[in-house]
Amino acid sequence: MKNIDDLIDSAAELAERGLSKGEIADELNVSKETASWLVSRSGATTTTTGQKSHSPHDIHVDWSAIGRDSARLTHVGRAVADLLSKQGDEVDLTIGIEKAGAPIATTVARELDTDLGTYAPSKHQWDDGETEDLSGSFSRNFSQIRGRECYVVDDTITSGTTMTETVEAIREQGGEPVACAVLTDKRGVEDIEGVPVYSLVQVLRVGQSE
């Protein structure tokens, strides 16, 4: 992904395949607002007044060079596991946030000798409109919470909404999130809902254009 036009083309392709804007946001590692903007730009380059629409303030993270190679993904997963290795003594479950967080969490679970669970966030159902009726879910094909302490793993934190939702969902199931870890943190958070957040890379916007 080299420039904004490539992102717009990718958003258009994903939309044509039937993905919701929330799923597109997940695939492109951008916010829901940015995903919506990219999809709209793929259909028109200007607004009805002839003015160019303003892009949202966001940072695109492309880690496909890691994701497409199992060896690289394993090495990076081990680095994430190292971030979590000294957090908690009784943790026996790692929750990966679908889609991209799940393969990273798999390596983390193997390295730290924990069970593996996955969580599908509500944003995967999101298109334009209300979000109050949307809810995420834990996959029954993997380990369940059952009141356990756990780690939470994802690829990117953009706004923190998905990680917050996951932490709250774990607690609703009687579990206790001990620590969260991601490849890239675009928000620069130290904790979410009282749970410490660790990242391999932290991206901070120093200034923004008017």
For position 93, which CATH number holds? 3.40.50.2020
What Å distances lie between residue 77 and 4, 26, 107, 190, CA to CA? 29, 19, 5, 20
Does 92 lie in the same domain as 195? yes
The whole domain housing 25 covers: 4-43
- What's the CA gap between 105 and 186, in Å, rounded? 19
Are residues 160 and 73 part of one domain?
A: yes
133 and 190, same domain (yes or no) = yes
Q: Considering its fold, how many domains does the chain have in total?
A: 2
Q: Is the peptide bond between 32 and the residue preceding it cis, with omega within 30 degrees of 0?
A: no
Instruction: Give the predicted TM-score (pTM) of the model.
Output: 0.75
Six-digit token pair at 111? 């390295």
The span from the CA of 177 to the CA of 135, in Å, is 19
* In a domain? residue 48: no
Task: Tell me the per-residue pLDDT of 99-130, one tens digit each, with 9 for 90 and over.
Answer: 899 999 999 999 999 999 999 998 767 666 65
89 or 95: which leads in pLDDT:
95
Which pLDDT score is estimated for 46?
A: 34
Q: What is the pLDDT of residue 187?
A: 86
